[in-house]
Amino acid sequence: MSNLDLVEEIHEPLNAIKPMELYVFVDPLNPQCWEMQGVIRKLQIEYGHYFSMRIVLSTQIFNLNKTVLSANIDTDNLTHPVLPSVAIKAAELQGKRSGNRFLHKLQEHLFLQSKDVSSYNVLLEIAEEANLDQEEFKTDFHSVHTAKAFQCDLKITREMEINEVPSIVFFNECIEDEGVKVSGLYSYDVYQTILQEMMGEESLNRQTPPSLDDLFTKYSTMATREIASIYNISEQTAECELKKKVLQQKIERICMSKETIWKVK
């Protein structure tokens, strides 16, 4: 039996009070924001009981073309760089988890499959894969509520003077204290240290990661390096464990040019 099989997931108590809040600023079309997800996932797994998190879209397009959101136009062949961000906000209207799931699927299509995610038709495919209500998604995509939600994200981006993505702003429960802004992408240790310093504790209670099966239930697609980081093992050890899951027909292996991806079947 492997060490991974011995790992059990620790669940947070319901309605747990979290003393920290993280604002994570991303552009869904930015490759570094895709790389950031591995850091965020590990941070959530180990220290998610300390913080809540808000994803803020910081797409570098500040003037929404109203015709893009019009319910009266033919959307069959519609393509526009702002559409992915609009679609993410539309997905969020079906719940925070739905929005996060849609964002991840969108990035998979863009960075792993080289799909044109600025196409409305491709976004509909992604919504279906993310198990969203299709009719509700289409309606919300053209909704004024979606446009306002996206504009609100852009306003927050400007007010917090975010000039680079990805960026994370850490806030603690003391409203008098200013947030700590980290612009750009850094190693996991940097974010861990900031969280610890803002909590004012010598050491934080690090939670044990879930089993590999449970991890794939939570995240349907992961890279070898990401899994190795979560379990603090070598990539070779991680790949050995993952191959066992392939033989059990639980996951499949996707070899990309830069890294290996593992996906739930």
Domain boundaries, the chain: 20-63+77-199, 212-264
Instruction: Determine the pLDDT at residue 8.
Output: 33
Angle at alpha carbon of residue 53, lines to 52 and 58, rounded to 5°: 160
Number of neighbouring beta carbons within 10 Å of residue 228: 18
Of 3.90.550.10, 1.10.10.60, 3.40.30.10, 3.40.50.300, the CATH number of 20-63+77-199 is 3.40.30.10
Which helix (H) or strand (E) is 196 found in, with range?
A: helix 188-199
Q: How far apart are CA 180 and CA 79, in angstroms?
A: 37
Domains 20-63+77-199 and 212-264 share a fold: no
Question: If DSSP codes are grouped into helix, strand and coil, which group holds residue 223?
Answer: strand
Instruction: Determine the pLDDT at residue 13.
Output: 44
Amino acid in position 97: R
pLDDT in tens, the chain (265 residues): 333 333 333 344 444 678 999 999 999 999 999 999 999 999 999 999 999 999 999 987 544 444 444 444 455 678 888 899 999 999 999 999 999 999 999 998 998 888 999 999 999 999 999 999 999 999 999 999 999 999 999 999 999 999 999 999 999 987 777 899 999 999 999 999 999 999 987 789 999 999 999 999 989 889 999 999 999 999 999 999 999 999 999 999 988 777 888 999 8
Q: Span 212-264: which CATH code? A: 1.10.10.10
Instruction: Determine the pLDDT at residue 214.
Output: 96
- Put simply, whether the predicted model's pTM sits higher than 0.75 gets the answer yes
Q: Are strands 51-57 and 20-26 parallel, antiparallel or unpaired?
A: parallel
Nearest one of 84, 157, 160, 70 to 116, comparing CA atoms: 84
